[in-house]
Amino acid sequence: MRVVLWGTRGAITTPGPAKVNHGANTACVTVSDGDRMLILDGGIGIIPLAERIMATRRPGEKQSLHLLMSHLHWDHVIGLPFFTPVFIPSFTLAINGRDAGQIASTTDRLFSSTYSPIKGTKNLGAELVYRGLDPGHTRMAGFEVSHTELSHPGGSMAFRIQSGERAVVYATDHEAGDRVRDEGLVELSRGADILVHDAQWTLSEREQSKGFGHSSWRDAVVCGLAAGVGTLVLFHHHPHHDDLVLEEMGRQAAAMAGSRMDVLVARDGMIIEP
């Protein structure tokens, strides 16, 4: 199994010389096993992924892509209008999430004449398919996918992606603090090799930002330890946090986790192989 972090920021891209190490692309992650791949969220990070897909495809060959959406906030969909495969007839893109109808209308709006010269998804080359998630387990691109609801304004979903003995959990846009939702996430993450968790805030920011729908690095560590995961990945970085701030957050998180769990600070382009 291979996890690639193509985009690791929350909210907006704010590139600059102080953010070269961790990058500025908004949320997009792939989980793959051999030639099977699931794409998680369509933030700006989906653009370098598109470059990779285009560079490795055989021209004219039919290709199906599977995208799984945590939710539809801007930072998680803003890369879709620039995702090259949607313009090419040999691609099919299945977009999966909570509500197929809502995903279809949101995607169509992203390509509407207000925002795009394409004037609606009906003019795209690729075939777009929208799917709502069933309760319980779903089989997608050969992976076993299960999900739980997170605490976030308007909602967000965490996904567990299982291939054989290996499991990766993607849990972004979550504010720890609701007991039922937190326990649901711990249960979903139980024994996972990798947990990618929202860690937008420092501890002092977290105090001042209740209700915004995001967690601190400490919340992420608490969840990872309770679930007994192998590696915690601090994700959805605040756009104002530069490399120095993120590295300090990572040091504090690693100190709290000790030898019980590895801690990584997500960075655009990072590859993790459980």
Number of residues binding to Zn ion, judged by CB under 5 A: 4
Candidates 28-36, 75-83, 227-235, 261-269; binding stretch for Zn ion (CB under 5 A): 75-83
Nearer to Zn ion by C-beta: 8 or 231? 8
Least distance between Zn ion and beta carbon 183 (Å): 21
Measured CA to CA, the distance from residue 236 to residue 118 in angstroms comes to 30
| 23 is a contact residue toward Zn ion (CB under 5 A) | no
| 43 is a contact residue toward Zn ion (CB under 5 A) | no
| 197 is a contact residue toward Zn ion (CB under 5 A) | no
Residues 116-155, one symbol each (x = binds Zn ion by CB under 5 A, - = not), give: ----------------------------------------
Answer whether 268's CB lies under 8 Å from 236's CB.
no
Among 41, 75, 182, 193, binds Zn ion (CB under 5 A): 75
Among 19, 39, 169, 173, binds Zn ion (CB under 5 A): 173
Nearer to Zn ion by C-beta: 44 or 141? 44
Candidates 65-73, 132-140, 161-169, 257-265; binding stretch for Zn ion (CB under 5 A): 65-73
| 10 is a contact residue toward Zn ion (CB under 5 A) | yes
| 238 is a contact residue toward Zn ion (CB under 5 A) | no
Nearer to Zn ion by C-beta: 75 or 219? 75
Least distance between Zn ion and beta carbon 26 (Å): 7
Least distance between Zn ion and beta carbon 228 (Å): 26
Task: Please identify the residue of the shown chain whose CB is closest to the bound Zn ion.
Answer: 73
For the chain, the farthest-separated pair of C-alpha atoms sits apart, in whole angstroms, at 53
SS3 letters across the chain: CEEEEEECECCCCCCCHHHCCCCCCECEEEEEECCEEEEECCCCCHHHHHHHHHHHCCCCCCEEEEEECCCCCHHHHCCHHHCHHHHCCCEEEEEEECCHHHHHHHHHHHCCCCCCCCCCHHHCCCEEEEEECCCCCEEECCEEEEEEECCCCCCCEEEEEEECCEEEEEECCCCCCCHHHHHHHHHHHCCCCEEEEECCECHHHHHHCCCCCCCEHHHHHHHHHHHCCCEEEEECECCCCCHHHHHHHHHHHHHHHHHHCEEEECCCCEEECC
Q: Which residues make up the interface to Zn ion (CB under 5 A)?
A: 10, 73, 75, 173
